[in-house]
Structure 1
Amino acid sequence: MARVRGQVDETKTEAILDAASVLFSEQGGGVSMEAIAKRAGVSRQTLYNRFPSKLEIGRALASRRSDAINAPLRAGGDPQTVLTTLAALLLDKICGDDGKASMRGVALMSPHAPEVALAIYEAGPRESLRRLSEWLAEQNRTGALALPDPDAAAEMFAGMVLGHGHLRGVLGVPHPPFDRDARAAETARRFIRAFAP
């Protein structure tokens, strides 16, 4: 089926983001827009039409990851189920090979392109914390949990889930073996116990 004039081909957008993710993790912020276009199999014009700069690509990558991680918050359910699923996704996305490579890429990029690193943080981790904080505030309003400071609780939950996962990822140090599902469930259980009404 032919595309309607002016319609954006989302497969090209995804190809650009996938290519940029790989190249950022390999080369940091020094990668050129031309290299991203070539790896994605699109013209430079197509790339620039969708993403005028690396800053916009970084923001889109972080937003895409944040949306995937925070899906359980939109799905609904009891706090134990939601937080367990969220914890498992965090562990997958941050402690998995892709997450570790992404964090190293941002770390490599930050001294040379601090504005891109900040955009990635704002659209990704900070946005994820904001969404979790909103969800926790709603749990507080309904009486499911007792959270005097949802912002602090959101950071606490992320820290409980990841432990040194971020640091290992940035440094490229292997994670010790762990049972992802057991860790996710235990973290959610302990968090809920700490903030039980």
Structure 2
Amino acid sequence: MAADPFALFDEWFAQARASESGLPEAMSVATADATGQPSSRMVLLKGHGPDGFVFFTNVESDKGEQLAQNPKAALLFHWKSLGRQVRIEGAVEPVTEAEADAYFSSRLRDSQLGAWASDQSRPMDRRETFQQRFEEAEQRFEGQDVPRPEYWSGYRVIPHRIEFWTERPYRLHERRLFKRDDDSWTEGLLYP
């Protein structure tokens, strides 16, 4: 048994990067609005460590609005090639402006322009409108760095619960649960 869920996550994530044919950093993010209506979608993990798990998005998107109403989330990684899953639940906080700026500046230019062109999660009359807005952003920022839009930032999920699931034959799966208890973690097993 490991005492540090972050060290175990690092180990599993490194193995997923070596074996997974898709995007090992792809994770499902589940949120709920103020009424408790759940919603989930796939995003990419962009940072992790003992302070939490980070992803970036338009804060005016559905997930951004839900996190403003109910700052809690659940994450799910599924690495089929390894027969493993990691489930994470916790409180959510915004990343700092400096973190958002640093990550935005590391993105490909077209991804930066796409952030300016998209009203993420809002109705769109037709695809050509989005393409036109992208071209307008290209012209607007031609010959200069693309600044981060004020509505584009990131979130950090600060876990209070991390479960490591390993597939075993005959559905005799292994489930290891880490729960935060103030500043320390306790570990136990769950029936599959």
TM norm structure 1: 0.25
More relative contact order, 1 or 2 (CA 8 Å, 6+ apart): 1
Instruction: Select the structure that is richer in strand.
Output: 2
